[in-house]
Structure 1
Amino acid sequence: MENLVYLMVLGCLTLLCTADLRKHFNISQLNSVDTTRYHALRLFNNDHPNRLRQALKKCPSSNTLFPVKIFSSEEPFFCPAVFISADALLAPALCLKVMQPTEDHPSSHMFAMVEAEHVFYYESGRRYISKIFYHPKLDDEPAYHNVAIVKLRNPIRETLTANGQSIVACLWSEPKLRSERVFLGEWFKYQPEQNAAFRWLDLPTISRKECREELSKSKAVVPELDRGIVESQLCVKDNKNRTMIEFCEARSSGPLFMTLGNTVYVVGMPTVHIDDCNVQVEVFNRVSYFLDWIEAIVWPRLENV
């Protein structure tokens, strides 16, 4: 009997010793990096009601790819642009600088024109520009801040097409894209006395490393990109080089779009035109890196709403 009691006590002590060796898991050990382990899924576009920024609040649920032309009555050029609100467009700043002599105010000679002229209701589809906001760092680093906000004198009355889709594009707010395919709408093949042709390019994005290697391999000299390809930029390339052979020709190279479901986002704006036919890539600045500046101008009174 004594031996049995001794064995039971010994067994209990053994169990206690084993239990003591177990590590207790408490909340301080929770790994915030592996959020999916705790069933926490990332909200699309950080779409939490308390974190929703203005660019996301104003994003139409259904819109369409809708590039716009900006003209000048004084200069024989036009610049590509895209609506980001009923009275504001995003456009490449360097292109607008070509059309706007320093002594002239843009409202005296610059206007936006869309193919669907009924959107503007009067003046043959024209909507005159009231002001252009150039990125504050444009003069210091033109290629890296080649973006401008164009404000219209009067907002467009109707932002929906006949099928109910908005012509206003959403602004992509994240550093990384959710799709490897992007779309570039551009005018090209300029000829005397003829309108430029238009085309959509369905292009894959490539890494910054691949982009650098491509530029290095082609020995292209791009003095404007003196810092190289940086984190705030993205590159596109045609895998089979079927469309890029014309990238060295004169072309508009408009905003870069990404589609997710029925929603169209502007994800990039052009840097500079590389007029080297050996270069099979194009470099864009990510819109997400300009978002704070854009929101402060386009929706200034809504920042704290």
Structure 2
Amino acid sequence: MTKRPLSGLRVLDFGLLTAGANTSAMLADLGADVLKIESGAYLDPFRVVGKIDDEDGWWNRSPQFRFTNRNKRGLALNLKDPEGQRVIRDLAAQCDVVVENFRRDVLDRAGLGYKTLRAVNPKIVFAAISSQGDTGPERMNVSFGSTLDATSGIAALTGYEDEEPRISGMDVNYPDQIVSLFATGIVIAAIIEARRTGEGCFLDFSQREVASFTLGEEILAAAADPQRSSRRCGNRAEGTVQQDTYLCNDGRWIAVTSDREQPELAAFCAGRASADATAELLMRGIAAAPCNDGNDLLQDEALAGVTLA
């Protein structure tokens, strides 16, 4: 196999669901040797989400689990057991990175927090991912993607005018997805610094802060005009003349954005198959694309041609 950028890097992974597990998975994609730690008493909750059946091996059948734990090795250890704690400390002494997204203080109570692991390995980069961050009055709050959509400001902008705010839901879970992307990049930067200085660090990732960061322009707009209120606008967008999704005669939808008024667009799409409507609009210089689902993406030749190899 071709040597990858993080080949030789060792990651001790306590990541769960998307926020933590996908961070370490992307490190594995780049060549890191990732060892996922789970307990029989507390499996990664993704193991039982969307699993195909209840036959033998069900714990490995969830698409969500398999995707966020690709390219990893696994080890079962009880974090509450002294022997399990000893093994984890021994592993940490040989690892470069720890990734975790437990509720705050879980690892500290087990004697496996940053201060303890730093004592056995001063070069360790410890990535702590949580909903509200490691400090502040809300650090112990129970949160899910739905509540993070709300507190970050995303839900207030999502949905249609005069309707309730929309949350992205588990199939998207936007705050989890974006924090794993941010965390991966910052962990790599911390690894470079640790190799330069010989000192590791504690990285405190707040999903709420990262999600709010993506709405920086909304915060600035509110500061400039305190009376301004954000309004949900469905598929419309400021700066575009016409933008929406349209149903075609094969039962599929396409998304279209035009810089000029196209009053006939709905009828145009309704009279054509989605592929034909998309092709004709693109020929006219109008942005158009099919609304793909998972089956479409699986068969997408453009995506199939993109690899890390």
TM-score range, shorter chain: under 0.3
Judging by fraction of residues, say which structure has more strand: 1
TM-score normalized by structure 2? Answer: 0.23
Between Structure 1 and Structure 2, the one with more helix by share is: 2
TM-score by length of 1: 0.23
* Relative contact order, higher structure (CA 8 A, sep 6+): 1
